Every structure is written in structure tokens, then in C-alpha cells.
Amino acid sequence: MSVRQSLLAILDQGPCYGYQLRAEFDRRTGGTWPLNVGQIYQTLERLERDGLVSKGASDREGRAYYEITDAGHEAVASWLSSPVERQTAARDELAIKLAVAATLPGVELADVIQVQRTAALALLRDLTRTKDSIDEPTSPEDLAYLLLVDAQIFQVDGELRWLDHAEGRLARAVAAGVAGPLPLNTEVPKRGRPAKAVQS
């Protein structure tokens, strides 16, 4: 949803055509989330369908400009004043990988954790170098890019702390004798979604 809302927020500044909108998005995000033009136009069509933008006349070069509607202005204001909904840990690929690896025979979970830690530390070094190369922002583009780099640094730092925590949990589970493979269940599963665990 953030691409859709971001494009709409850019259009809140004035009419844009597709390529221009892509360039503006790249400029404001430091190219950290590359979009192709097809994705831009598909999003614009959906925004138009939903009454948030309207397609204007084409210029001499055939570029159609899109303008935000009153409903679009309201949607941007709502987006900017609302918190971002975070995914639960159950949707996190790394959490799923470690959870499944912990139940498989012959897998050294400590090795899986160490491989991820090594990659995270390398990424953290690269991000820190990138941040240090800019030092202080001298333009709105620098500021936007640094905010994104800072966010990535904090995410990687959080991942590293979580990996340390997971390693400690693994050590405690091994010591308690509860770590090990989970055999396949040979019972025929019932159709439908599994029942949710009851919270106590």
C-alpha cells in the first residue's frame, strides 16, 4: 500500500505523468525501492478507478498528466496521519526460516543463525559506510535518503539483537532437552484452516 499512497502523495503537489512520477518517487526514496513504469501506470489506473486521481489531456509529446481529486487529497491526509501497520513476526521470512529449521533433523540451528549474523553484519557495515559518506544532509533528497538508510540500520541492528536472543533461547532449549527434530504427523489432516491456539 505504501507505493500507492506515496505516488498519491507526490501527486498532491501537482499533476504528473507516469515517467515523471517514477522519477519523483526515486528522487524522494534514494532509489531504494525501484519501480518500473508498468507498475506506475497500473497504480495510476487503480487510483483513477477508485476516484483518487483523474487523467487529464495529453500534451504534444503524448504524455497524459494525472491530477489528484478531492478524495485523493483526503486519502493522503489520512495516510500521513495514520500509523503504518506492521506485519506480525509470523510473516517474517527469517523468523519462519529459523522456526522451521529448529524442527528439522540434521540441521545445526547455530550455523543457520551464524550465516544470517555474518550477512547482517556485512550489510550493517555497508549501510554505515553509506551513511558516513553523506555525513549531514545538504538537500531534501539527502535527508530523505538518510532517513531510509537510518531505518535500514536500525532494522539490521534489531535483527542482530534478535539473532543473539534466538541463540540464547536455543542454548536454553538444548540444555532443557526440548530442542530437536519434529517428526512428520502421519494423521490425515482435517480440511479447512487449522484451529487457532487458545490464548490463556
**Given this model, what pLDDT does residue 200 score?**
47
Distances (CA, A) of 8 to 57, 133, 185: 19, 31, 49
Point out which residues pair with 64 in neighbouring strands: 58
| 3-class state of residue 64 by DSSP | strand
- Which residues are CB-contacts of 124 (< 8 A; sequence separation ≥ 6)? 153, 156, 157, 160
Confidence of residue 185 (pLDDT cuts 50, 70, 90): confident
Query: Dihedral of CA 143/119/121/167: which sign?
Result: positive
Question: Which CATH number covers residue 60?
Answer: 1.10.10.10
Is residue 68 located within the same domain as residue 125? no
Point out which residues pair with 85 in neighbouring strands: none
Is residue 43 located within the same domain as residue 107? no
Is residue 14 located within the same domain as residue 37? yes
Query: Dihedral of CA 134/137/142/148: which sign?
Result: positive
Is residue 62 located within the same domain as residue 34? yes
- Please spell the DSSP secondary structure of 95-117, one letter per residue: HHHHHHHTTSTT--HHHHHHHHH
In a domain, 189, yes or no: no
Confidence of residue 195 (pLDDT cuts 50, 70, 90): low
Is residue 76 located within the same domain as residue 94? no
In a domain, 166, yes or no: yes
pTM: 0.75
If residue 87 lies in a helix (H) or strand (E), which one and from where to where?
Answer: none
Is residue 35 located within the same domain as residue 113? no
> pLDDT tens digits for 143-177?
999 999 999 999 999 999 999 999 999 999 989 98
Q: Number of folded domains in the chain?
A: 2
Tell me the C-alpha distance between 160 and 32, whole Å: 21
> pLDDT tens digits for 111-150?
999 999 999 999 999 999 999 998 788 999 889 999 999 9
**Given this model, what pLDDT does residue 72 score?**
94
In a domain, 119, yes or no: yes
Distances (CA, A) of 130 to 35, 134, 157: 22, 7, 16
Domain that holds residue 128: 89-176
